[in-house]
């Protein structure tokens, strides 16, 4: 998480802060210095915005804030003398920090180490769209509400080395790729490379989610789905032994991932289990008990939104209920179904390559989970006549393996992969969470893919990962 210092005065600075508040990103913390008391800002996250009121031209006062480790400083000031003295104070305390400053006067030396944002140039670029027969830049096309976005793909992105056709694009599209100053027209077979610039078109709110997904790197799971783990226990369904094992394994996962855990208990009729759960509550573990007898599946969806849940943990018995499973599918967060096996002794994640390219959709999450939990990663390649799709997915995983320094093992087999895995001792199966898991039982008799037949490995731990961003 980056810390950014912003110094403002005047109406332009105020508009700038209001725009920053409207971005709703959780990746930056902003320290805002105002030169004088002004009307308070509305709708900001207290954890992400810290406001100060003092004269930034005072070295003593600005130095007290600069003790914080800022990644950059942004100056939006309308008084040229105040701006100049503020820059001197900052440079005196931190000579090498990156400074971006608004230039209202078109009079600054561009070689002074400051990144100047020229107001006159910005106005000129926006006015040019009113001239006839003049091509406009992408930032001036459309409604200007964020429906067109350019994103630079970082080296460790979840999108690197993915084929365009393997990226689910609902309510948004990759319109163009720029690589080495060359335009590439996207096709399903094109693969995204590190440092590609993607031009995206779609619903503004959707593009914000896509942006976060592209910028997401390994080691952040359960991000970008959420920030907390959630264990759901229905005491009317679960046995005492199962409840104790669910809690123990969930706390183990919470410690391994170093993410907060929320334990939700409904139908609390087992006093022994309640006492056991309460005894396990510690730093980073929260307990909520619902005493209302009328509990439905909507409670899970409400909690996922309310608590920013990124991983839903549930028992094998609970997941077998179609209504629960469908509610979890609608939530669009990963679901870890815990079986009656040890989790602490697990050493391997297993992925069966399917008939479709759903596995490529969830590849980075698979790598992320394996890396954080310290698991080896094995791909099961069921050898059939047309292996084009499987070979493409294996190529993708090998590329990710090089990026993340995480080795993988590919097992080619002509035997039914599910029958092969049922002879194994213990593993975590990672698979896409798709509508195939709601097929009629009669259709499953003729199915051949692992998504439809996931119940055949029901006695193992399984991680169901949404395929949509």
DSSP string, 9-54: -HHHHHHHHHHHHTT--SSEEEEEEESS--PPP-S--TTTEEEEES
Burial class (CB in 10 A: 0-12, 13-18, 19+), 137: exposed
> Residue 85: is its pLDDT beyond 90?
yes
CA 13 – CA 404 distance, rounded (Å): 41
Provide the pLDDT for residue 154: 82
pLDDT per position as a tens digit, 123-146? 876 776 566 544 334 554 566 566
| pLDDT confidence band for 30 (50 / 70 / 90) | very high
Domain boundaries, the chain: 2-128, 142-215, 228-312, 348-466
Could you tell me the fold of the domain covering 348-466?
Rossmann fold (3.40.50)
pLDDT of residue 372: 87
In this structure, of 119-133, 159-173, 187-201, 430-444, the range with the lowest mean pLDDT score is 119-133
Whether 450 shows a pLDDT value over 90: the answer reads no
- Tell me the CA distances in angstroms from 348 to 162, 271, 379, 463, one per residue in order: 24, 36, 11, 13
Per-residue model confidence as pLDDT tens digits over 39-60: 888 888 888 899 999 999 999 9
Structure tokens that stand for 277 in this block: 């759960």
Edge to edge, the sheet with strand 98-103 lists 49-53, 28-34, 2-8, 72-76, 98-103, 115-118
In whole angstroms, how far apart are CA 276 and each of 138, 226, 246, 313, 423?
59, 27, 12, 18, 35
Burial class (CB in 10 A: 0-12, 13-18, 19+), 102: buried
Give the integer Cα–Cα distance in Å for 25 and 209. Answer: 10
Which CATH fold would you assign to the domain 2-128? Rossmann fold (3.40.50)
Q: What is the pLDDT of residue 149?
A: 81
Question: CA-to-CA distance for 433 and 452, rounded, in angstroms?
Answer: 10
Q: Please tell me the distance from the alpha carbon of residue 207 to that of residue 211, in angstroms, as a whole number.
A: 6
For the domain made up of 228-312, the CATH class stated in words is alpha beta
Q: What is the pLDDT of residue 263?
A: 94
More reliable by pLDDT, 415 or 408: 408
Residue 137 confidence (pLDDT) = 42
pLDDT tens-place string over residues 249-273: 999 999 999 999 999 999 888 888 8
- Calculate the average pLDDT of the chain: 84
103 phi, psi to nearest 5 deg: -110, 105
Mean pLDDT of 338-356: 88
Token pair, residue 33, equals: 């210095």
DSSP, collapsed to helix, strand or coil, labels residue 262 as strand
3-state secondary structure of 188: coil
Q: What is the mean pLDDT of residues 350-368?
A: 82
Residue 329 to residue 234: CA distance in whole angstroms = 19
pLDDT digits (tens, 9 = 90+) for 89-116: 999 999 989 999 998 887 655 557 888 8
Helices (H), 94-184: 119-127
Residue-wise burial string across 37-70, b where 16 or more C-beta atoms lie within 10 A, e elsewhere: ebeeeeebeeebbeeeeeebbebeebeebbeeeb
Nearest to 93, CA basis, from 71, 62, 50: 62
Class of domain 142-215: alpha beta
CB 329 within 8 A of CB 301: no
- The confidence score (pLDDT) of residue 404 equals 63
Which is more confident, 390 or 449?
390
Provide the token pair at 149.
């976005």
Q: Contact at 8 Å (CB) between 290 and 299?
A: yes
**Tokens describing residue 250:** 């969930």
Asked, colleague to colleague, whether 2-128 and 228-312 share their fold, the answer is yes
- Centroid of chain to Cα 383: 33
């Amino acid at each position: 998480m980056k810390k950014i210092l912003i110094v403002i005065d005047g109406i332009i600075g105020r508009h700038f802060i209001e725009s920053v508040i409207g971005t709703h990103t959780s990746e930056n913390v902003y320290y805002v210095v105002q030169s004088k008391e002004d009307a308070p800002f509305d709708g900001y996250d207290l954890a992400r915005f810290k406001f100060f009121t003092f004269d930034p031209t005072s070295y003593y006062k600005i130095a007290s804030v600069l003790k914080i480790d800022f990644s950059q400083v942004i100056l939006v000031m309308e008084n040229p003398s105040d701006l100049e003295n503020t820059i001197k104070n900052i440079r005196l305390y931190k000579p090498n920090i990156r400074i971006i400053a608004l230039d209202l006067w078109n009079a600054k030396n561009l070689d002074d180490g400051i990144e100047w944002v020229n107001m006159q140039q910005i106005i000129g670029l926006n006015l040019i769209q009113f001239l006839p027969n003049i091509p406009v830049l992408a930032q001036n096309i459309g409604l200007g509400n964020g429906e067109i976005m350019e994103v630079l793909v970082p080296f460790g992105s979840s999108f690197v080395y993915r084929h365009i056709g393997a990226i689910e694009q609902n309510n948004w599209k990759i319109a163009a790729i720029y690589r080495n100053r060359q335009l590439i027209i996207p096709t399903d077979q094109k693969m995204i490379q590190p440092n590609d610039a993607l031009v995206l078109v779609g619903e503004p709110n959707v593009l914000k989610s896509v942006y976060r997904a592209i910028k997401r790197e390994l080691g952040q799971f359960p991000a970008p789905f959420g920030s907390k783990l959630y264990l759901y226990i229905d005491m009317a369904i679960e046995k005492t032994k199962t409840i104790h094992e669910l809690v123990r394994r969930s706390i183990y996962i919470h410690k391994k991932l170093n993410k907060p855990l929320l334990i939700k208990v409904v139908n609390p009729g087992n006093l022994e289990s309640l006492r056991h759960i309460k005894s396990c509550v510690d730093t980073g573990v929260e307990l909520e008990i619902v005493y209302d007898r009328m509990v439905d599946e909507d409670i899970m969806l409400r909690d996922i939104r309310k608590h920013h849940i990124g991983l839903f943990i549930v028992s094998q018995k609970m997941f077998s209920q179609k209504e629960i499973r469908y509610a979890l599918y609608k939530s669009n967060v990963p679901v870890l179904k815990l079986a009656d096996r040890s989790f602490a002794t697990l050493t391997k994640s297993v992925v069966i390559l399917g008939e479709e390219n759903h596995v490529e959709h969830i590849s980075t999450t698979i790598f992320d989970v394996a890396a954080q939990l310290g698991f080896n990663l094995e791909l099961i390649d069921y050898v059939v006549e047309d292996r084009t799709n499987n070979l493409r997915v294996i190529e993708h995983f090998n590329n990710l393996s090089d990026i993340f320094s995480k080795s993988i093992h590919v097992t080619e087999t002509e035997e039914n992969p599910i029958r092969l895995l049922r002879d194994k001792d213990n593993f975590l199966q990672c698979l896409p969470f798709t509508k195939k898991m709601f097929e009629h039982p009669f259709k499953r008799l003729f199915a051949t893919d692992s998504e439809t037949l996931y119940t055949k490995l029901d006695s193992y731990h399984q991680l169901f990962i949404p395929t949509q961003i």
